[in-house]
Amino acid sequence: MSAEVGSGAPGPLVEMTDIDKSFPGVRALAKARFELLPGEVHALMGENGAGKSTLMKILSGVYSRDGGTVLLNGQPVEITSPRQAQDLGIGIIHQELALMRDLTAAQNIFIGREPRRFGILDEGRLNRDAAAIFASMNLRLDPTFKVETLTIAKQQMVEIAKALSYRSRVLIMDEPTAALNDAEIAELFAIINRLKAEGVGIVYISHKMDEIKRIADRVTIMRDGEYVGTVRAADTPIETIISMMVGRTLSAETLAIPNTAAAPVALEVKNLNRGREIRDVSFSVRRGEILGFAGLMGAGRTEVARAIFGADRRESGEVWVHGKRVGIASPKDAVAAGIGYLSEDRKHFGLAIGLDVRNNIALASLPRFTGPGGVLDEAGMQKEAVAYIRTLAIKTPSDTQEARLLSGGNQQKVVIAKWLLRDCDILIFDEPTRGIDVGAKSEIYKLLNGLAAEGKAIIVISSELPEVLRLSHRIAVMCEGRLTGILPGGASQEEIMRLATLREPAMQVRHAG
C-alpha cells in the first residue's frame, strides 16, 4: 500500500518522516509520515483526532515538532513560525476560519503584506489586487465589504483567496468545503486543477469521500496519530479507505434502532425565528428518540439549540415540553423545564474546568445540596458524584480531581452527569465527540443510546455525517437558518447533503436584517 514515485518524476516537494508531537496529556502524533509531489493533490484522511490537522500545523509553522524530520525540496528545514512557512512557499487554509471580522475582505487577504506607497497604505491597489484574485476565482464579491457582513460560505472563499494570494508552492487546505455548496465546490476544484497544472502541491484534508474521489491523486490515511498507509485515489475502493481509517470494518456496527413512533412527544418547537440565523424552524422530539441535526458550518444548528435553551434571544417561536407550553427566557427556565444543553465548547461553556469533578456534577443542582444557613452538603454531593462516576464509567482517580485534568471524553461525561443529576430528560448535545479520541467516541455513542433507551429525548448536533447517521432515529437538516427537511434514520449521505445545500433562490426577498 505504499506509494511509488514514478521513475523520472521530480523529487517530492515535502517529505515528513517520523514526526512526533505531544500535548499535555495527549500524544497527538507518533512517527507520522507524509509526502507531497509537485502538481499532486494529496488527500489526508482519518477520523477526528487522527492527527491530520496537527501534522499540517507542524508543516505550516503553527506548532513545533517534538521529533522527526521535514524535508522541503530535499533540504531539511526547521519551520518555526507561520511567517517562515509563508516565506518557504507553504500556505494553509485553516479549518477554523482565521479572519479578522472587523476588517474588509481585501484587508484580510493582504494582512501583513499591505501594498504601501511612501509608507502609506495603498488602499486602491489593495482592493484592485483582491478584486483580481476574486475574478480569477469566478467569485463575485466586493473586496471592501467587512468580513463580518459576509455569509460563512463567502468567508471561506475569502480564506481561500488569501491562501491563493501567497502563490505558495505547497498549499494545505484543511476542510475547505465545510461551508460551501456544490457550485462553490466545483469552482474550488477548478482552481485546484489550475494550481496542479502549475506544479503546486496541494494537501487536501476532508471527510467527504466523494470529494476525495473527484479531486485527489493519492490518499494518506492516519489513525490515532500514526501513519496507516498511502494509496492511489483512483483505484482504491472507498470501503478500503474507510476500514484503514477506523481500523476495522464498519458494517459490523450497524445499530439496532428501536421504533419510537408511538412514544409521547417530549419537546416540540414551533416557528422559531431570529433574523437570518434562524428562520421559521419547527420540529419535535419523542421520548426515547435521538434526533440528529445535520448541516454545513454556519447553517444555524447551534443557534437553534441555544435559542431553545434560552442562551440567546429569539424573536418569535414557541417551545412545548411534554405537551405544555413553556416560556423560556434564560437557561434557568430551560433547566427548570428539564432541558439540558451540552455545548460544543466544553471548556468555555460546559465545564468549570478549575473546579473538581464533584462540584461540576453538582453545579446545576446546588439548591438541592444547600442545607440550613446556606452551607453545602458535601457528603451528599460526594455520594451523587461517586454514583455517576460509576454509572457513566468516568475515568478519574476520585471525585475531587480537577475537571481540567480529565480527557475530553471523560469531561463530556461529567457534563452529562451534571444534567442527569438535575433531572433533565431532554438533552441537547452540540458536537458531543469534538476533540474526543476514537476509542472514547464509541463509548459516548453507547451512552447516548443508553440514555435514549431510558426514555430521554435527545438532540445531537454533529458536523460529522457518519456520526449523525450512526446515532439518529431521524435526521433534521438545516441550511442558512432554515430547516430544509427531516429524514428517516437510514437516509443516504447524498440526500442529507442535498438538503444541507438547498439554498433559497437568489432573488427571493431578503429585506429583513
Amino acid at position 318, single letter: E
- Residue 185 or 231: the one with the smaller Cβ distance to another protein is 185
In the complex, least distance from residue 509 CB atom to another protein, rounded to whole angstroms: 9
Q: Hey, what amino acid is at 309?
A: F
- Smaller CB separation from another protein, 313 or 325: 313
Which of residues 180 and 231 has its CB atom nearest to another protein in the complex? 180
**Residue 251 C-beta: closest distance to another protein, Å:** 37
Closer CB to another protein, 91 or 432, in the complex: 91
Of 67, 61, 6, the residue nearest 33 (C-alpha): 67
Nearest Cα neighbor of 224 from 431, 29, 397, 483 is: 29
Q: How far apart are CA 488 and CA 492, in angstroms?
A: 9
CB 2, min distance to another protein, A: 33
Per-residue b or e along 404-416, where b marks 16 or more CB atoms closer than 10 Å to that residue's CB? eebbbbbbbbbbb
Residue 36's nearest CA partner among 152, 187, 199, 181 is 199
Q: How many helices (H) and strands (E) does the chain have?
A: 16, 22
The contact set with another protein (CB under 8 A) reads: 62, 81-86, 94, 98-103, 107, 111-112, 114, 116, 119-121, 123, 138-140, 142, 145-146, 148-149, 151, 157, 162, 181, 183-184, 187, 276, 313, 503, 506-507, 510-511, 513
Q: Which of 59, 389, 473, 294 is nearest to 68 (CA)?
A: 59
Give 3-state DSSP helix, strand, coil % of the chain, rounded to 5.
35, 25, 40
Residue type, 158: V
Nearest approach in angstroms of CB 53 to another protein is 13
CA distance 224 to 239: 19
Q: What minimum distance in Å lies between the beta carbon of 493 and another protein?
A: 21
Q: How far is the CB of 241 from another protein (least distance, A)?
A: 29
Residue 512 beta carbon to another protein: minimum distance, rounded to whole angstroms? 9
Report whether 504 contacts 512 (CB < 8 A): no
Cβ proximity to another protein: between 5 and 190 the closer is 190
Number of Cα atoms under 13 Å in the Cβ half of residue 198: 14
Smallest distance from another protein to CB 155, Å? 11
394 touches 414 (CB < 8 A): yes
Task: Provide, rounded to whole angstroms, the least separation between the CB of residue 257 and another protein.
Answer: 35
Nearer to another protein, 78 or 253 (CB): 78
Tell me whether residue 18 or residue 504 sits nearer to another protein (CB atom).
504
CB nearer to another protein: give 93 or 195. Answer: 93
CA distances from 177 to 96, 116, 187 (A): 12, 33, 11
Residue closer to another protein by CB (options 264, 275) is 275
Shortest distance, CB of residue 95 to another protein, whole angstroms? 12
Instruction: Give the residue among 183, 179, 138, 144 at the shortest CA–CA distance from 159.
Output: 179
Closer CB to another protein, 103 or 257, in the complex: 103
Q: Residue 86 CB, nearest distance to another protein (Å)? A: 5
3-state SS of 321-383 is ECCEEECCCCHHHHHHCCEEEECCCHHHHHCCCCCEHHHHHHHHHHHHHECHHHCECHHHHHH
Q: Alpha-carbon distance 304 to 277, whole Å?
A: 8
User: At its nearest, how many Å lie between another protein and the CB of residue 158?
Assistant: 11
For another protein, give the closer residue by CB, 316 or 492.
Answer: 316
Cβ neighbors of 108 (< 8 A, separation 6 or more) are 99, 100, 147, 158, 162
Bridge partner residues of 341 (DSSP) = 428
Query: Would you say 119 or 323 has its CB closer to another protein?
Result: 119
Q: Where are the beta strands (DSSP E) in 233-288?
A: 265-274, 278-286
